[in-house]
Chains A and B, each alone.
Chain A
Amino acid sequence: MKYIEEYRDADLTKKLLKDLDNIITKNWTLMEVCGGQTHSIIKSGLDQLLPKKINLVHGPGCPVCVTPLELIDKAIALASRSDIIFTSFGDMIRVPGSKTDLFAVKAAGGDVRIIYSPLDALKIAKENPDKTIVFFGIGFETTAPPNAMLVHQAKLQNVNNFCMLVSHVTVPAAIKALMDSPDIEVDGFLAAGHVCTVMGYWEYEPLALKYKIPIVVTGFEPVDIMHGIIKSVSQLENGIHIVENAYARSVVRGGNKPAQAIINQVFEICDRSWRGIGVIPQSGYRLRGEYADFDAERRFPEIQGIETKESEICISGLVLQGRKKPNECPAFGKECTPQNPLGATMVSTEGACAAYFQFGRLGIRSDHGR
């Protein structure tokens, strides 16, 4: 596959590993922000090949993991109604709410449909005029443009039997919150390449400056990730802290302007709750006033009262902030497994706990360098 195979090249990866070995003199902790990067690191086995001086910690960039339990319970409440067709991206379906998940709702007769393109929700709405179609609008800046376009098109085409349950979050606010927390031990960030494809990287420049920390825009294949790590380590070894772009084949500084325009037209910045972390100010999107009719929480005000409580033993919040390793959780591998997850980080293949669970069983290095 052109433009993917090249970035999985074994010889090139080995050369980059050697290059990294040549420049690294101290121990450095880097956070890969995006769950897609975590997934790729584990899937390729890159974590076992890195020098021991590199400690990779997983960041909060797994959309499935950070969507608050409360929102999942609201989704479940909506999906259970006979007058609603509930549509969602695939991997949200398996995430457990307080009592059940969307798979179980489907089994109990709820009309839950996995869609791949958000605009499919509009098609379903037109085909089912006597039902309300709810789309679970989650994710980072990556899924925000197509989700915004969905709402925009619904308004434009007067598809009024459609609404969206919104739980959109943004990366820079999360990085800021992490850096402001007192016991964070991260020396540099591998920023999420897909998010930066949409948003560009100019908004990370003040963060790099303020917190004196390298932020390197990084892609998702082994060669991309090595490229990001080398740039970060090179900065750290030389006492530099700037934003660099190690994913230039996809990202430009200003990002994708039309995509940003549709986000800004449909969404506005708001405070958002992150699962396991809590409310981060100015860290998400909600629908603007002119699109408020398409807000599922407004359309179905009865779900606004749903309140939930996380498992008392689950430490996924600390894991998502890179403050605890998954295997430091008392429930890890015991009460909590991928088949019976207590927190979302054990559900998604991008979740740090699920990844650790796999590797711990083999007894190979699961601590990413520590």
Chain B
Amino acid sequence: MQHIFNSEGWELEVIMEDNKSQLNLAGWSCPIPLINYPTIVLGHGSGGKMMADLIQHLFAPVFNSQLLNQLNDSTVLDLKEILNSYPSKRLAFTTDSFVINPIFFPGGNIGDLSIYGTVNDLAMSGAKPLFLSAGFILEEGLPMNSLGIIVSSMASACKTANVCIAAGDTKVVNKGHGDGIYINTTGIGIIPEGINISISNAAPGDVILINGSVGDHGMAIMSVRSGLEFETTIQSDTAPLNGLVDELIDATHEIHCMRDATRGGLAAVLNEMAVSSNVGVEFIETAVPIKPEVNAACEMLGLDPFYIANEGKMVVVVPENQADKVLMAMRKHSLGKDAAEIGRVVENHRGLVTAHTRIGGNRIVDLPAGELLPRIC
């Protein structure tokens, strides 16, 4: 994705990677009064004219959502209309807050991350994501330019993921009380009939699949984090997984578990599954796809790639007789090209995850104790 803006930072054009969908925001440039404030000031959250300007000249045109244009205290959703398109009895509902630092990183920014993160959480229960809310906590001094880029990438992320921002809120906090920008997104999705996917559904004998390489997002962030900067070509894998999930559900209704491997990485997902489903989990280290540059960066910092965060990777657990079908469906999708079978759900060592090591040994892969810390030697 490429952003183009003029010297004042006001004419934005977002070019998607596939060059198909272009979001031209030239129309929303507004010299007054926003231009008088090249950064966010407390007044932008005051509820007064400055806030109205921010909404009218930035959020509304960029998000271009009819639901947002209702401009009521709460957005009214037409249930009948939804059920006509998606006959179902169950909704999925989730919320997530994004406090990532730095806010711009190789492969994305806090904006698209905040859309894809919530879309993916909805998709993991098999739901079709429909509506999102976006709550912004802006720190005084955030460059207006940065906010413009973030909001426009949220809009293009919504388009990519086929979801709509239906409600929003903005607050401004004093300088020093935030990290530039925090975003909360909450999402509602609808779960098709006949789908029952849960982290507690794994059964011994099930096959564990992943849709691609692990560790890309976390290492991309570390490569630009202050104090740790290193040169690399690693890009965050941030992406909406709902399209891929649709394909998998088309392939089989027998998916037992799906979870995106975000914080805590692959190791955290497998541990959560082992505990919630009361099963043992075994995976083969060499079967897990890891990009050479991610592996090298992990070696350098003394980190284990299985613990590193992802934003476009998911673990899928299916009965053995469905595994080939699901793996094929994954590999056909652009976000599953490197999909692989990585392990099995087992009867023994319930609640524990073990890895079969490269040289033929075994080790326990536990939940990380806390924040991942580079080792001294």
B299 sits at the interface (CB 8 A)? yes
Which single residue of chain A is at the shortest CB-CB distance from B295? A1
Mask, B294-335, CB within 8 Å of A = 1, is 011001010010000000000000000000000000000000
B347 sits at the interface (CB 8 A)? no
Q: Is the CB of A47 within 8 A of B361?
A: yes
Q: Is the CB of A63 within 8 A of B363?
A: no
List of B residues within 8 angstroms of A358 by Cβ: 363-364, 366
| CA–CA, A230 and B301, complex, Å | 30
A291 sits at the interface (CB 8 A)? no
List of B residues within 8 angstroms of A140 by Cβ: 377
Q: Is the CB of B352 within 8 A of A44?
A: no
List of B residues within 8 angstroms of A89 by Cβ: 374, 376
List of B residues within 8 angstroms of A359 by Cβ: 363-364
Contacts A94-B370, A339-B369, A362-B354; A142 near B363 (Cβ below 8 A): no
B359 sits at the interface (CB 8 A)? yes
Give the interface size bracket for B toward A: 20 to 34
Contacts A49-B359, A120-B227; A90 near B354 (Cβ below 8 A): no
List of A residues within 8 angstroms of B373 by Cβ: 90-91, 93-94, 114
| CA–CA, A358 and B374, complex, Å | 20
Which single residue of chain A is at the shortest CB-CB distance from B356? A45
Contacts A358-B363, A358-B364; A91 near B375 (Cβ below 8 A): yes
Q: Is the CB of B364 within 8 A of A361?
A: yes
Contacts A339-B369, A362-B349; A36 near B359 (Cβ below 8 A): no
Which single residue of chain A is at the shortest CB-CB distance from B363? A45
Which single residue of chain A is at the shortest CB-CB distance from B230? A116
Q: Is the CB of B375 within 8 A of A361?
A: no
Q: Is the CB of A36 within 8 A of B377?
A: yes
Q: Is the CB of B376 within 8 A of A48?
A: no
B228 sits at the interface (CB 8 A)? yes
A78 to chain B, nearest CB (A): 19
A53 to chain B, nearest CB (A): 18
5 pairs, A vs B, C-beta closer than 8 Å: A10-B358, A48-B361, A89-B374, A115-B227, A116-B374
Which positions in B face A, CB cutoff 8 Å?
A: 227-228, 292, 295-296, 299, 301, 304, 349, 352, 354, 357-364, 366, 369-371, 373-377
Minimum-distance CB pairs A-B, first 9: A45-B361, A90-B373, A90-B374, A45-B357, A13-B359, A358-B364, A89-B376, A91-B373, A10-B359
